[in-house]
Every structure is written in structure tokens, then in C-alpha cells.
Amino acid sequence: MANILGFTLGSKFPNTEKYENENQNLINDFNKFHALEKSDTIIRFFELDTLIHSGDFEKKVLKLKKETFKDTEAYQKFRKYKEYKRSANVKRYNKLIKENKADEEDTLKATNEVQTYLKLKKYVESEEFATIKKESDAKEFKGSDAFKNFSEYKKLKRSSTVKRYNKLALKNRIAEIEELKNSTEIQTHNDLKNYIESDEYATIKKEMSDKHRFKKTKEYQLQEEHKALSKTEDVIWFLKTKNKNSFHELDKWDLTFEDDFNGTKLDESKWITGYYWGKALLNDTYVQANEKQFFKKENIELRDGCARIISRNERCKGKVWNPELGFVPQDFEYTSGLLSTGQSFRQKFGRFEAKIKFNHTYPAAHTFWLLAEQIAPQINILKTPEKSNKKIEVGHFWANDKELLQKTQNVKIPGSSDQFYIYTLEWSKNKLEWKINGVPVYTQTENVPQEAMYISLSSHFTSTPSSEKLPISMDVDWVRCYQLN
């Protein structure tokens, strides 16, 4: 109770302009935050942030930084190659290849001289030659083709080319090389040797021996991209704002209705300028039997970004609702204005607020209220008591089977009534809470309305005002409604 008393005495109300600016700045930041949240920059930053702080990525980076050439598979193949190279068979094979004996023998064998020699040698060692020699006498043999072939064979056998070929062939080096070459040991050695001499091995060795190798990796590039993004103005602001969690309250609400009255004429898609039932039944305006003014559209001016509801000493004709006679014509001495969303917007539960100032004179009643289809329920977010210019009345009305009941509270305005204040109602299933400039001033938990209601703003008289004190006005800078998301 002490807090409510403190609030009603105006000791804790923030300055309206400061409060509104802080709220608007928060809304601007909120919009900026959610716009950035969908931007390529922020999406990419968090994508990288998640990646580079993952365990797999960190292990990979650590490995890239610490790993040397000796840790690679290429180095292991190099070591294995060195081991094979030291084996006796590989040494022998390499020696034979180095001396190039097999190649020399193949070269000699391919000459016409050696080919002729081998052909004649085959003939001389054949059974055909042996039979001719055996069955012929010496004179006959010397005159035969067999003898000519034999003589040519002996001549070729003495040539240096054939002698060199026979020397190489005698040692059987070709067979030895082929045998070694086909062994698993030599094949493995040769495969390793080919790999060690390959561009792939040279590239790996060069890369792994580079002191700046990590800076050339994809992982380093990703880290640098993340670092660069983390230093951008958008990311710094986004992270700072995210950590502050400033939008906890704003995140609760979705804007459902708004009018800033910045145009040159009233938005008639949102507002009607008389009681809802007059528009619905008559397409015309009426007032209640106890009201001294008549509502005119002309008494609502859009000026300086506000909707100004003006109450004047002005004669006019209009209609009055009489419970027994219905709508009855009547002459009026005073006019005023009314704004209603009865045909355009209704909402059950939520946050309803408006920025309002008014100049007061007895017995004017300036109102910002919520109405339903019937006379009740009704919620007064703001109503000026007829006999006070320093207080407002907040509260609500409900009906039972027999009568209309109410529960209201007078709240002192935290300053002059001709200054703007933001009047708010937060309405939930089980509670009504009234606020001025964000400060709670009254709470009600009994008979909370459970049906959709519409907004009305008006100035009216239930007693005759003093003409010299008119005109008076109520200025509405803006109206906004929200719903819990």
C-alpha cells in the first residue's frame, strides 16, 4: 500500500519526455536488433562463432599448429623407403641398375651382328648340322653351306661385339634383375621411391616445413574472418545489446493498433466520431440523456501531430438516446468530440496506452476508456473527475443481474494536467493494472472483464459548464495497443 500511496503523490514518476524518449530509443534498438538478427553479417558471425568454438574445430587447429613433417604419413613412407634402401637385395638391384648391364646386353642383342651370331649358333648346335658333318667326308663338308655357316659363326664369335655379349649373357644378369624386380621387396621399394620422387611428396614436405603454414590454411582464414566480423560496429552493438537483454519487456508484446495522428485529416478507417451504436444503428451521432454537449466531427482537429478534442460553447441540433422514447432530437448549447474504434478494432487483454494532455474546467470529463458491446463492462484508463483538475479517476464497471457495479480510485496527476503523460492499462485474464509514465498507480483483480473491448477518447459534460471557461481541449499525441505474443 505504501508504494501505491507514494505513486499517487507523484514522488516517483519519471519525466514524460524522458520516459517516452527512453521507450522510443528502446523500440528503435529493438527494431534494429531484430533487423540485424536477420542480416548476412550477424548470421555469418554466429555461423563462424559456432564452428570455430566447436571441439572438432579446436582439435583440428591445435593439430595444424603443432604438427610437423615428421608427423605426416609422407614422412613415414620416407622412413620406410630408407629402410628398404638399406636391404641387401635392394642394394644389389640398385647396383645392377646403376651399372646398366642389363641395358647393355639388350642393346648388343638387338644388333644385326649378334642376331646373326645367335641364329648361326642355334644352327651349329642343331641336330641338322651334326648329321651333315657326320655323314659328309672332309672335302664334301668344306664345300657345303653348313660349313659356310659354321665358318661365319666362328668368325662372328671372335668379334668384340659378340664377345662382350657372351660375357654379359654368361653372368645371367638379366635373369637376376628380373627376379629381383618381381620380388615384393623391390616392388615395395620402387613404389616408395616413386612416391618420394613425386610432386605430391615434394608439396607435402614443403608445406609442412613452412613456419607460416597455419596462416595458409582454411581454418586460419575462418578464424580471421570471425575476428574481423567481431570487430565490426554491427556485431559489437548486437552482442552488447544481446547480453544486456534489454528487450525482455518489449519481446512480450506485439503491436496490434497504432495512430500517431501525423496526417492532415483523421484516419476514418480507424476512427468513428460518435458512439458506436449511433454509427451502427443510425449511421449518425447521438449522446446520452444526461449529457449537455453534442459530439461533432468538426470538434476534432489534427494539429501539431496530435488529435485535439475541443469542447466549445456552441449551439447545435442533435439526437439524444431516451430509454423510453428512443433517439429524440434536441437542441444543445455545447459541442465536443469523441473518437472510437468500435467499428475497426477490439481486443481482449493486452496493453492499451495513449499520450494525453488536457486543460480542465468544472464540470468537464475527459476520458480514455475501453467499452464493450453492452453498457458493461467498461474500463476507465483515464477519466477526469468533474470537481478536480489535479486528479484522474481509474477503475472499471461491471454488471450483475440487478445493478451496475464499479470499483474506482482517484490518482493524483504527477504535475500539471496541461502537460503530456502516458496513461497505460495492462489487462490480463486475472488483473488490471494502471500506469502513468510506466509507474503502476492502481491494480484490480476482481471481476476482470473477459471479452473484447474497443477504445474511446472523448470530452463531455453531465452538468452545465460555465461558458466563459470554454473552449477547453484534450490533446492525444498517439494511441497504441499491444497483445502478449
Q: What is the pLDDT of residues 180-213, one digit of tens each?
A: 778 888 888 889 999 999 999 999 888 888 888 8
Which backbone phi and psi does 363 adopt, to 5 degrees? -110, 45
Stretch 11-32: mean pLDDT, rounded? 86
Total residues belonging to the chain: 485
- Confidence grade of residue 2 (pLDDT, cut at 50, 70, 90): very low
Does 351 score more than 90 pLDDT? yes
Q: At 425, is the pLDDT very low, low, confident or very high (cuts 50, 70, 90)?
A: very high
Contact 12, 439 (CB under 8 A): yes
In this structure, the number of other CB atoms found within 10 A of the CB of residue 320 comes to: 18
Q: Which of 100-109, 138-147, 217-226, 407-416 has the highest mean pLDDT?
A: 217-226
Q: Which range, of 49-53, 94-98, 242-246, 363-367, averages the lowest pLDDT?
A: 94-98
Percent of the chain whose predicted confidence (pLDDT) is above 90: 49
Q: What is the pLDDT of residues 228-247, one digit of tens each?
A: 999 999 999 999 988 887 77
Residue in this structure with the C-alpha cell 468500435, named with its chain if needed: 342
- Looking at domain 257-484, does it have CATH number 3.40.50.150? no
pLDDT band at residue 8 using 50, 70 and 90 as cut-offs = very low
Per-residue confidence at 281, pLDDT binned at 50, 70, 90? confident
Non-local (6+) Cβ contacts of 181 within 8 A are 93, 187
Residue with the bigger pLDDT between 40 and 11: it is 40
Higher confidence at residue 347 or residue 85?
347
pLDDT band at 417 (very low <50, low <70, confident <90, very high): confident
- Give the mean model confidence (pLDDT) for residues 215-237: 95
Q: How confident is the model at residue 3 (pLDDT cuts 50, 70, 90)?
A: very low
Mean pLDDT of the residues in the chain: 88
Report the percent of the chain where pLDDT is more than 70. Answer: 94
Q: Give domain limits for the chain.
A: 72-208, 257-484
Q: What is the pLDDT of residue 166?
A: 80
Give me the torsion for CA of 257, 263, 267, 272, rounded to 10°: 100
C-beta contacts of 265-269 below 8 A and 24+ residues apart:
265/302, 266/297, 266/300, 266/302, 266/307, 266/339, 269/344
6 vs 429: which has the higher pLDDT: 429
Q: Is the pLDDT of residue 427 over 90?
A: yes
| The pLDDT value given to residue 329 | 93
- Neighbour tally for 350: CB within 10 Å: 19
Query: What pLDDT is attached to residue 317?
Result: 94
